[in-house]
Amino acid sequence: MSDHEPMLTAATAREEATPHPTAETSLLIDIGSAWTKASVVGRTRGRWRIVAHTAQPTRWGERTLFEVLTERMRETVDHRLRDEVPAILAAAARITCHTPARPGRLGVAAVTAEVSGAAARSAAESAGWIVVEQAAADDGRSLPERLSTLTAADVDAWLVVGGFDEARPEQALEAAALVAAARRGGRTPVIWAGSAALTEEVAACFEPGVVQAIPNPRPNASTEDLAPLRHRLEDLLDRLVESGGTRNLAPIGFRRTIEEIAREDHLRVVGVDLGARYATWAFADGTLDPMTVDSRVYAAGGMGSPSLGTTAAIGRLARSLALPVDELAVADTLQNMRARPASIPFSEEELQVVHAAARLRLAALAEERMPDSIDLLIGSGRVLAAAPTPMRAMRIMLDGLRPLGVTQIALDGAGVLSPLGSLPDDEIAEGIGVLRDDLLVPLGTAVVTRGGRSGQLAIRARLHRVGWPDPETIEVRAGQVVVMPLPRGERAEVDLELEGGATLPGPRRTHRLRAEVSGGAVGLVLDARDAPLMLPRRLDDRREVIAGWLETLLREPVPGRPRAATSDREPARRGLSRFRVGRDDRGRDVSAADDANGEGGGEADR
């Protein structure tokens, strides 16, 4: 991430003979359960840049971290400051976040598994809790079984939910009684988020002051408002598990930064942070007023997720590899990854298994949650940032999340999004603006279609780049993926015509459009592989198809024209505007022309 320029204050840049230079630096540190990522932000030639970065196993400790950062800083800093680097780092303002030392463990008693129970789980998981046990009156278990289950649960807090506000269901009181019986006194707090009519009776099941009543997230059949419950659970997590404040928790910080990026540039942004233990999903729609935000924090959703160790998941992983790796080896590799999360894949086989696991985890995160047509998709986490090539990282995101439509894809390569989100509310935007050049690593833009008839033409694309001759038409068949080089910083327009039943998300299932696309380390990816990915049933055929995709995706792009001719880069604006995919009128959908010409007819209107 370093720009390899000497780090100087503005004064020293102007005049060598001025008094001794000074340095303004900050340290952004994300202490993960397996890896710690640290970036030194310094002022160089009047701009704030990441001047040194490192990632190391958390167990190596702070001393080693600072030794490496010192070494890296010395390579970039003004020579008169070299001896002072340790002192500069020691004095640097630290913006730190960390993965929760342990997740908050919640026990839930609900009236119904599908209504109040699902709402409670959703609120708890989005607030960073892990639901260790849930019992509902309709979950098929007998009363003693439910009581036994709750009694055996080791939890930090209890959540009792159920009943619409006007109702007084006996099952809600039964749920409270089950918790009272399982809890047996002590200081474990109980949250009541159910029928307002039962609040006093529920409180009477417990010692005075134990129950915190909050507004019912499902006051009636047609309303669901999880925000008050989520906020209370965040506060509780802060008080019980993380005395330093939830703002300093990496999953919470990540969500806050994604939110700010969406607000700043009025974008629809999805961010996914795939850690060793935690996985965070955040979606923020900055095109709406007020902005909508949806996030989920899965305390056991990362690369060490137990769900990867099941027979079904192992089989699915083995079948998704381009190499013939048997299920025994896949299972052992996954378990070794869980047991030693700070180690890295040594062989290509191990790498493919780990990346397949990452795709599977992302697919689970995205399930029923990936919105149609987003502007920006941001990937974070060591498995993505440490991928051997940008294309490998892009493939994990593309195959795992299948972002339909035209989406710019970027990587939180330095792992700075979570620490930035631990800043106070009003400083996050400033932090994003200050680091505009280094905040994200743009990988490029992906066009992902749904549907299409196998082997038939799905996408016809023409990429218009300023200063280039008339473009050739690129044809992509259903089941194919094509990568077109488009360097970082370069913007272009792409005309897309969809054929053979392939569609992009849109109000009228758009068949023709012109979209603005941004370049990146990978370029423009035209992906007609459907969503979800369609693969042959026979293992050999499947492996051949996957190997073909991998070969296409990992092939070096054909070198472009002379470098001087490539630059039509816009002056960078504050914030993430240079990552904008484009929601303005001329971009996106030319549905008027589409309507007028019918499917497959005429040129798109510009």
Partner 1 sequence: MTVSRFPIDDGEPAVHRVPLPRGAVPHVRTGSQVRPDQVLASRREVGEPLRISLARTLGRRPTEVSELLLVTPGARLDPDQPIARGPDGREVRSPGHAIFLTYSEADGSALLVQLGAETSVIGHVHGTVLQVTRGFISVAVPGARLEGVGGTGDAVHGELAVAVHTHDEELRAGAIDVSAAGKILIGGSRASAETLTRARAMGVAGIVLGGILDKELRDFTAIQRRRREIGGMTGSFAVVLLEGFGKVALDAQLFGWLRANAGRMASLFGEEHLLYVHEASGPPVRSQMAEIGDRVVIHRRPFQGRSGVLVGVLDELHETPSGIPAVTGVVRMEDGRLAAIPLVNLEATIAPIRH
- Which residues in this chain contact partner 1 in the complex, by CB under 8 A? 56-57, 59-61, 64, 142-144, 147-148, 151-154, 170, 173-174, 176-184, 186, 204-206, 309, 311, 327-329, 331-336, 339-340, 342-351, 386-389, 392
DSSP letters for 486-522: --TT-EEEEEEEE-TT-B-SSTT--SEEEEEEE--SS
| Nearer residue to partner 1 within complex by CB, 331 or 517 | 331
User: Nearest approach, Cβ of 185 to partner 1 (angstroms)?
Assistant: 8
- The Cα 130–Cα 292 span in angstroms is 24
DSSP letters for 50-87: EEEEEEEEGGGHHHHHHHHHHHHHHHHB-GGGGGGHHH
User: Nearest approach, Cβ of 233 to partner 1 (angstroms)?
Assistant: 22
User: Nearest approach, Cβ of 241 to partner 1 (angstroms)?
Assistant: 15
- The Cα 528–Cα 519 span in angstroms is 19
What HEC string does 100-149 produce? CCCCEEEEEEECCCCCHHHHHHHHHHHCCEEEEEEEECCCCCCHHHHHHH
Are 528 and 476 spatial neighbours (Cβ–Cβ below 8 Å)?
yes
User: Nearest approach, Cβ of 207 to partner 1 (angstroms)?
Assistant: 9
User: Nearest approach, Cβ of 248 to partner 1 (angstroms)?
Assistant: 24
User: Nearest approach, Cβ of 143 to partner 1 (angstroms)?
Assistant: 5
| Nearer residue to partner 1 within complex by CB, 143 or 291 | 143
- The Cα 152–Cα 249 span in angstroms is 28
| Nearer residue to partner 1 within complex by CB, 2 or 480 | 2
Q: Which of 124, 421, 528 is nearest to 299 (CA)?
A: 124
Number of CB atoms found within 10 A of residue 60's CB: 14
User: Nearest approach, Cβ of 325 to partner 1 (angstroms)?
Assistant: 11
Q: Is 573 helix (H, G, I), strand (E, B) or coil?
A: coil
| Nearer residue to partner 1 within complex by CB, 161 or 205 | 205
Phi, psi of 473 (to 5 degrees): -85, 125
- The Cα 260–Cα 425 span in angstroms is 9
| Nearer residue to partner 1 within complex by CB, 181 or 592 | 181
| Nearer residue to partner 1 within complex by CB, 205 or 250 | 205
Are 370 and 270 spatial neighbours (Cβ–Cβ below 8 Å)?
yes
User: Nearest approach, Cβ of 153 to partner 1 (angstroms)?
Assistant: 8
| Number of residues assigned to the chain | 606
- The Cα 66–Cα 544 span in angstroms is 46
| Nearer residue to partner 1 within complex by CB, 73 or 576 | 73
| Nearer residue to partner 1 within complex by CB, 216 or 333 | 333
Structure tokens at 569: 């880069």
- The Cα 370–Cα 359 span in angstroms is 14
User: Nearest approach, Cβ of 154 to partner 1 (angstroms)?
Assistant: 7
| Nearer residue to partner 1 within complex by CB, 92 or 358 | 358
CB contact set of 188 (below 8 Å; sequence gap of 6+): 155, 156, 157, 158
| Nearer residue to partner 1 within complex by CB, 501 or 557 | 557
| Nearer residue to partner 1 within complex by CB, 173 or 440 | 173
User: Nearest approach, Cβ of 347 to partner 1 (angstroms)?
Assistant: 5
How is the beta sheet containing 211-213 ordered, strand by strand?
129-136, 104-110, 157-162, 190-194, 211-213
- The Cα 4–Cα 22 span in angstroms is 18
User: Nearest approach, Cβ of 225 to partner 1 (angstroms)?
Assistant: 28
